[in-house]
Structure 1
Amino acid sequence: SERRRRGSLTYAELVRDLLTDERHFLRELNLIIRVFKDELEKILDKDSRAITLIFGNIVDIYELTVTLLGNLEDACEMAQDSPTPYIGSCFEELAEVEEFRAYVRYANIVTRKESRDALQNIVDDPLLGERLETAGHGFRLAVKYVLPRLLLAPLAHVFLVHSYVLALLQIAPAHDDRESFKQVECNLHPIKKLLMKALGNGPKMDATLRMATRARRQLAIEKCNELARLVDNWDNKDIGQCCNEFIREDTLSKIGPGKRIAERRAYLFDGLLLLCKPVTSLVGVNSGNLTGPGGAQQLKLKEKLHVRKLELVDRPDTDEGRHMLELCPRVGPPVVLACASCAEKRNWMCDLVMLNTKPMLDR
């Protein structure tokens, strides 16, 4: 649907979206290098083998992105008087000298098991773990959960850029520009294949990584509208302000006192985590009014947690329970949630830690 929607945009709008996404990607690269790589170099005392195994040639990708973004911005500035900036040549110049191959070198390092093990060893090492804790609020959790996904962002970005190139190739008004995009597509297609091959032997890439910024915002609006219909004590004014991006939804188990288990439908936005209880009241049963529009289950909002104001506790697996995480708000009792699997917990922790430590990471 994202590709279909992109098909309805004009060339100039696509270029604007591409610039937004390139700037977003540059921020991610800055985060990987300035926060994680620089800090881990200090903690590992310049253990260059481990650093290279974890981060590969990320600096090459950073430099390539700075060059591409600079060229794109220049092209747009020069075209200010004309209705359409032609940007095919910005990509073609880099493709001609095989600059995008840097992504293949990167993929072949970071998707290897040795790369993931090197990172896991740092988190598991008690002495290094202690150093991670002192590096900043939530930094150890960020290294454990956020960094592995961030390291896949460059690979996801190639897929995103490729989809832009295909869309621009379809609607570029000028012949020369179309020819440029054709050359770039020929260059990117085999690179994309090699990335998929590298990903085949390793980590799964989260689908949201491949979404354009505009699509994520649109999704938040749609999700808020859907919940306004389904949740019976929904407050649009209060909730809407904290929901600029929709991150994920899932069914989790809330572990109450005396190990009582309650089902929760969880909706995570960039500012709020909403935990809802499926409605099964007798009144509803009698009136037959338990489903919302479109047959979806009616919900009651039980917990509304401001993600930035939570203390996150990574609960280890025990006989008491597995795949658990604890959310401690500044006011009110902690909320203990259990996920369905180890992978699900990893995804939840990654998103929660990322949103929770964002102020620290952005600094």
Structure 2
Amino acid sequence: MSNNLSAQWEKLLRPGILTLFYREYPLMELYDDACQRIQEFLYKILRFLLRQYPHRAELEQWLYINYPEAQYALNRSSRKRIFSIDQLQTLIHKEFGIHNEMDINYLATTLEHCTKDVLKLAHDYVNRLGKNEIIANDIDLVMNADTIFVEILRSDLNSTTNTSSSNYNIDTTMSYNELIRHFIITETQYKDDLELLIKFFRNPIRKFFHDDLQIIEIVFGCLDDIYELTTRFLSDLEDAKEMRDDITKNISLYEPFQNFIEGNEFECYIKYTQTILATDHIDQLKKMLNNEQIKQYLELKSDQIKETYRYLLPALLHIPIHHFQQYLIYLEKLALFPESESAQLTDVLSVLRQNSYHIKRPKLYMNLSIHAFSMPKLNDNKKNNWKNSIENWDIKESISLFDSYLKHIVIQNSSSTLITNVDRRAILFSTILCLCKNLSNDKWKFKEKIWLRKFNINDQIIIPDHEHVFEIKCDEKNYILAARSEQDKFQWLCLLMYIRNKSILQRELYNILINEDAQQVLLTPDPSRYKFCAPNLPTNILIDYQTNDKSSSSSSFIIRGATIEKLIEHLTHHQLLHPRFVKSFLMTYKSYCTPLELLNLLIERYNIPEPASAYLYTEQQLKKFRKEYIQPIKLRVLNVIRQWVDKYFNDLIESNDHVLEQLQTFLQSIPDTGGLYQFKTSILKLIDKQTIDYQDPSKKNQQQDLITDERDQIEDLDVFLVLKLDVSVEKRVRFTSRHLRTSNYDYHCEFLNKYKAHSSTTKPVLRILLY
């Protein structure tokens, strides 16, 4: 909602304000700008009440304290309201997702009494000045003079800042496309954070509570439900990206959101929030960490993982709650753009807002995403010109992570009998902790900076007559600091552990995922349905493995002979890749198959069936199959076709089997979506270009000469390799006409003539080199 309220809100609020004003003060004049200012203020009051007091009991208590006379108005059910209940209920349901009739009655009464209060204060103020009209400045003055109104305005400002895009690193100048891309990146990072919580923090200690898993559920909540929702949501986003008719079009967010909203699946966030923000949650976490087996397990860990569990984990558990607020921010910003789906996103936003009123925003922790590109910021942090406010300031960073006060404790002698402490303003950045001395009320002097590169935290240090003490151990010097309270100390240690272990946790999760991926077998289609998955047997392929290849640090192999199907399989293999082999194959394929046979085989290779009984496999297995098997093969098939069209177009256009037409039909059948679209478009454009060049006699002859030269230059063929091995020519394998004949007579004779003088003591063996 912008500063200028929508016509629907104005239609609801304006008549009520004017009716109430002229009924109470008929001799006064209320200007339009003043009426507009009151409308905006009433909307802020409504937003304030719905955010702070989402339940009837809380709202009733607030109303009783601030407007006791409102109870009498509520008891008179027959009394006519200034603001229409039906219109208010419709707008609140559309804007905020609230549709409880009793809450609407309380809200309507609250708005009426606030309006009366503002008009009375404005009337009294203007009357003292001897004027008979009220303008916008008068409304601003009286609202800033009333303690209740100031509290509401300040709370609304803090709430806006708390959920602002700057707090979540969202650039307000982004375009619609940039916001969509940023949203998908943020969602991917969020999934990584959830995997970190589940696979690094929860799963390793879960095994110690086989008999009592309830404490795990109390501490970690329904993380599995949220992770499953996020994984499916990301999958739907990827599908939406693939299913675009035009890659230049925006990705639709409405359908992915709508799929889950219809099933009320975002309600898992409400359940999770109730668990994490429960009053006894921290106590349950401490109880879990005090388990003797957990203590022993964590003490064996390096990189202060024990302290990470104690101080950083509680903040990381708030990431899902913060992320749900990010959904609202993104949708609010996207709904403001004049795009076709903006109205639909507004409907999604109203439904999510209904859930958000049951999700209280964490006050103690900021959004400490481990996988975010940038460091988090406090709610009230802005770029500060530190040089103007602090003397001797020499730090280039401008946005702080935390700004608070600490006592710097200095032990003067080794016996710890002489201890001094000084108050310092402590400003925490991503790599530096700065300590400043107070000169006067608003003047500070820079005293010392602590580099936070390689440091450890000691939270068990005890200093006589000092509480809430902790120690930062750096390479050069140790610093003993004391916080103002236990909660302040907890927050300091949380942020310090975040800075210290952010990259370590990223690396730990990466290793976990790599190990899981290595243990997961890649699915393949059934060989009875897909002949390119047949196992390697002596009847279809003969391979020589070269483990002592001096030209390569890894083992290689040579195909001595293979069926055409096996040759196509290795030509477009999902893992093995050798660019020279494609060129060599295309130069020689006409010795053992026709262009039409090759095209049909490539099309068969491209059309990969799903594994049999796909419902028996997990979503992760199927996703890996599509990403690591189907996608690479399809791309490499299209790559072979592109090189075929580019280098040997005559083979296609001069074929009597109408190969070119069949190729174009196949390419047109590829959907205009996903990453294959660009490959398909590129090949079709290349066909058009080659067709035009073929019709030009000069270019046609030139192209034919190039092909003839390439196929005549046997000494440059990469597909053949003459190895000096003590192997007789008689041991070479010859295949039938349906196989690739590795000892083609013409090529073999050419080789013998060229290398006879060079290899007088050994006999050459003709082979096909893949690796």
Same fold (TM over 0.5): yes
**Out of 431, 452, 460, which is 1:271 matched to?**
431
Q: Report the AA paired with residue 178 of structure 1.
A: S
Q: Does 1:360 align with 2:525?
A: no
Equivalent residue of 1:252, what SS?
Answer: strand
Q: Report the AA paired with residue 310 of structure 1.
A: F
Distance 1:204 1:276, change over 3 A: same
Q: CA deviation at 1:7?
A: 5.4
Distance 1:215 1:360 in 2: 16
Aligned to 2:394: 234
Aligned to 2:345: 181
Equivalent residue of 2:392, what SS?
Answer: coil
Written as runs of structure 1 = structure 2, the 5 A alignment for 1:67-78 is 67-76=232-241, 78=243
Structure 1 residues 316-325 or 18-27, which shifts more? 316-325
Aligned to 1:62: 227
Q: Report the AA paired with residue 275 of structure 1.
A: L
Distance 1:213 1:361 in 2: 12
5+ residue gaps, structure 2, are 1-160, 412-417, 509-771
Q: Report the AA paired with residue 57 of structure 1.
A: C
Q: CA deviation at 1:298?
A: 4.0
1:198-254, Cα deviation, whole Å (9 max, x unpaired): x6xxx64424459x96885799xx977623553515154xxx5xx9x7421112110
Distance 2:432 2:282 in 1: 30
Distance 1:205 1:62, change over 3 A: farther
Distance 1:128 1:213 in 2: 29
C-alpha contact (below 8 Å) 1:12/1:84 kept by paired residues: yes
C-alpha contact (below 8 Å) 2:260/2:266 kept by paired residues: yes
C-alpha contact (below 8 Å) 1:275/1:303 kept by paired residues: yes
> Greater Rg, structure 1 or structure 2?
2
Distance 1:100 1:46, change over 3 A: same
C-alpha contact (below 8 Å) 1:14/1:164 kept by paired residues: yes
1:304-334, Cα deviation, whole Å (9 max, x unpaired): 222x4111001367753111110010222x1
Distance 1:148 1:16, change over 3 A: same
Distance 1:36 1:216 in 2: 21
**Out of 291, 303, 308, which is 2:449 matched to?**
303
Aligned to 1:331: 476
Distance 1:187 1:340, change over 3 A: same
Equivalent residue of 2:251, what SS?
Answer: coil
Q: CA deviation at 1:136?
A: 3.5
* Count of aligned pairs: 331
Distance 2:171 2:281 in 1: 35
Q: Report the AA paired with residue 39 of structure 1.
A: P
Distance 1:155 1:64, change over 3 A: same
Distance 1:206 1:30 in 2: 20
Q: Report the AA paired with residue 186 of structure 1.
A: S
**Out of 19, 25, 29, which is 2:184 matched to?**
19
Distance 1:141 1:217 in 2: 20
Q: Does 1:192 align with 2:356?
A: yes
Aligned to 2:490: 346
Written as runs of structure 1 = structure 2, the 5 A alignment for 1:310-329 is 310-315=455-460, 320-329=465-474
Written as runs of structure 1 = structure 2, the 5 A alignment for 1:22-171 is 22-44=187-209, 47-76=212-241, 78-79=243-244, 81-126=247-292, 128-171=294-337
Equivalent residue of 2:466, what SS?
Answer: coil
Q: CA deviation at 1:111?
A: 2.4
Aligned to 2:576: none
Q: CA deviation at 1:178?
A: 2.4
Q: Report the AA paired with residue 234 of structure 1.
A: D
Q: CA deviation at 1:147?
A: 1.1
C-alpha contact (below 8 Å) 1:325/1:338 kept by paired residues: yes
Distance 1:11 1:205, change over 3 A: farther
C-alpha contact (below 8 Å) 1:152/1:205 kept by paired residues: no
Aligned to 1:286: none
Higher relative contact order (CA 8 A, sep 6+): 1
Q: Report the AA paired with residue 265 of structure 2.
A: E
Aligned to 2:686: none
Q: Report the AA paired with residue 336 of structure 1.
A: I
Distance 2:279 2:227 in 1: 23
C-alpha contact (below 8 Å) 2:366/2:376 kept by paired residues: no
Distance 1:6 1:27, change over 3 A: same
Q: CA deviation at 1:162?
A: 1.1
Equivalent residue of 1:256, what SS?
Answer: strand
Q: CA deviation at 1:271?
A: 2.4
Equivalent residue of 2:300, what SS?
Answer: helix
Distance 2:293 2:311 in 1: 19
Distance 2:496 2:285 in 1: 20
Q: CA deviation at 1:260?
A: 1.1
Aligned to 2:408: 254
Q: Report the AA paired with residue 304 of structure 1.
A: I
Distance 1:147 1:217 in 2: 16
Q: Report the AA paired with residue 313 of structure 1.
A: N
Equivalent residue of 2:325, what SS?
Answer: helix
Structure 1 residues 123-132 or 56-65, which shifts more? 123-132
Q: CA deviation at 1:182?
A: 2.6
C-alpha contact (below 8 Å) 2:225/2:268 kept by paired residues: yes
Distance 1:214 1:231, change over 3 A: farther
The alignment's C-alpha RMSD in Å is 3.2
Q: Report the AA paired with residue 356 of structure 2.
A: K
Distance 1:235 1:303, change over 3 A: closer
Distance 2:449 2:402 in 1: 16
C-alpha contact (below 8 Å) 1:271/1:355 kept by paired residues: yes
Distance 1:192 1:335, change over 3 A: same
Equivalent residue of 2:446, what SS?
Answer: strand
Q: Report the AA paired with residue 235 of structure 2.
A: G
Q: Report the AA paired with residue 174 of structure 2.
A: L
Q: CA deviation at 1:66?
A: 1.7
Equivalent residue of 2:456, what SS?
Answer: strand
C-alpha contact (below 8 Å) 1:256/1:336 kept by paired residues: yes
Q: CA deviation at 1:72?
A: 2.5
1:132-165, Cα deviation, whole Å (9 max, x unpaired): 2213331221111111111111111111111211
